[in-house]
Amino acid sequence: MGVPRTPTARDLAAAILLEEERKRTRIRDLLASRRAGLPDSRDRGLLTEVAYGVVRRKGTLDAVLAPRSRRPIARLSGPVRTALRLALYQVLFLDRVPAHAAVDHAVSWVRRGGGAKAAGYVNAVLRASVAQVQGPALGKEDPRRDVPREDGSAIRLRDVTFADPASDLTKNLAARYSCPRWLVARWLELFGEERTRAALRVGIMRPPLSLRARGSRDDLYHALKEAGASVRAGHVDTALLVEGTGESAALAAVQRGEAWVQDGTAQRVAPLLRPERGQRVLDLCAAPGGKTLHLADLLEGQGEVVACDVESEKVEGLRELAAHVRGDVRFEVRQIEREGELPFEPASFDAVLVDAPCTNTGVLRRRVEVRWRLKPEDIGALAEIQRDLLERALPLVKPGGRLVYTTCSLEPDENEAVAAAFFAAHEDALEREHTLEAPAGRDADGGFAAVFLRT
């Protein structure tokens, strides 16, 4: 009996991608259990990069593969489709990976599970696809042959691959920027071409590791620099962005209680509630808990934060936050029902945060699976849930207290439309104080927030 083969980073990536598609599991959750099996940090980095990257750029990969495949990509077996995408992603988007290494791994991985015929098909399609790669795009953009990359450059293909934007801009952008056609069409109608292109460009980027400094940002910055991290300040005065080297130093700072992993736009939300020392604050849709902990920090060591969610698994995750709460802040976690009256006394909170479930269209680069699972009808369905959450939350706010509604969506139907309708229904009991509309950008995700004062 031979010695069992140790899975490589590419093996693990292929298995993760196959499971994500079959079971509709989040890449982040699948990675959590597999990264630890790779002792080399470079292998862990490659696994993370390709697992997220293949899902993020799936639409572009399929568009490039399709002309070279005798069968539609969607009708290929899961292992064959996974191997094709995994190898082509490395060829198009990872300069440090030789094309032959990516192709050879895909062929051998499929052969182990699918036999020689499947391996031969993968080999033929990949070699034909790799032969189409001309190299870096130089000069004027060719929208029918250029594959955009996250840094603003592009890879040029030899043959025309994408639709003519003059006759079908939606189809061209959807394929090149890896986004469902219906969503691109919606954005073009709502936002126009310039803003749509900007959102699509952000959607193909790898997000930086964003930290919220829980104390002095300057002190944290210098500590990370001394540890060898590549770090820079974000646009929010508590935000630091770590790119390239320095992930281990950043996570060590989190373990020491000096920082928390949180996007810059998300860091702008908790201060909108203006929490003060000694107050009682409710986070109604709290998981995973970044804004909850921020609220606790803003209470300056005294007060109470109640964190709620509907799913037992999320509630258990919230309970783990207790170890990170500082001072004498009381921290309570409650599981609530999806519908009906909330289990709290009326007017019992100084501030309430409704961080509502949404389409996540402002965080597509992080929640890479979302774009492929989202359906047009989800927008309206989520808006109903959002309105219901606001109605349930309002009675809990004390007179003079604040109610903040926020999403990580770009959709007006979930953002301003929900906030405006809610305010119109309660003008006698509310003042509208502030609106935050953040487009998705390189340093921070997209999002929305509306602040209401209960009179």
Shared-domain flag, residues 364 and 413 = yes
In a domain, 327, yes or no: yes
Residue 250 and residue 203: Cα distance in Å, rounded?
A: 24
pLDDT (0 to 100) of residue 246: 81
Domain CATH number, residue 16: 1.10.940.10
Shared-domain flag, residues 38 and 175 = no
pLDDT (0 to 100) of residue 5: 66
Place of tokens 């606001």: 390
Residue 307 and residue 314: Cα distance in Å, rounded?
A: 11
Domain that holds residue 232: 207-261
Shared-domain flag, residues 283 and 387 = yes
Q: Which of 185, 203, 221 is the last residue of a domain?
A: 203
Shared-domain flag, residues 360 and 435 = yes
In a domain, 137, yes or no: no
In a domain, 2, yes or no: no
Shared-domain flag, residues 199 and 211 = no
Q: In the chain, count of helices (H) and strands (E)?
A: 17, 14
pLDDT (0 to 100) of residue 4: 52
CA distances in angstroms from 62 to 158, 179, 344, listed in the order given:
17, 12, 50
Shared-domain flag, residues 430 and 283 = yes
Q: Give 227's Cβ-side CA count (13 Å radius).
A: 18
DSSP 180: -
Place of tokens 């007006």: 412
DSSP 48: H
SS (H, E, C) 338-363: CCCCCCCCCCCEEEEEEECCCCCCCC
Instruction: Look up the pTM and report it.
Output: 0.94
**What is the total count of domains within the chain?**
4
pLDDT along the chain (455 residues), means of 10: 69 95 90 85 91 97 97 96 98 94 96 92 97 96 97 96 98 98 98 98 95 97 94 96 86 95 98 98 97 98 97 95 96 96 96 98 96 97 98 98 98 98 97 96 97 97
Domain CATH number, residue 448: 3.40.50.150
Shared-domain flag, residues 343 and 407 = yes
Residue 369 and residue 27: Cα distance in Å, rounded?
A: 8
In a domain, 114, yes or no: yes
Shared-domain flag, residues 324 and 218 = no
Domain CATH number, residue 246: 3.30.70.1170
Shared-domain flag, residues 181 and 313 = no
Name the phi and psi angles at 211, rounded to 5: -115, 145
Shared-domain flag, residues 273 and 410 = yes
Q: Which of 131, 161, 188 is the last residue of a domain?
A: 131
Q: Kindly give, in sequence order, each residue whose CB lies less than 8 Å from that of residue 280, ignoring residues fewer than 6 positions away.
A: 303, 304, 306, 348, 349, 350
In a domain, 138, yes or no: no
CA distances in angstroms from 302 to 162, 184, 331, listed in the order given:
58, 47, 10
In a domain, 1, yes or no: no
Shared-domain flag, residues 182 and 256 = no
In a domain, 438, yes or no: yes
In a domain, 141, yes or no: no
Shared-domain flag, residues 22 and 78 = yes
What stretches of 68-98 show up as alpha helix (H) in DSSP? 78-93
Burial class of residue 340, CB neighbours in 10 A (0-12, 13-18, 19+): exposed
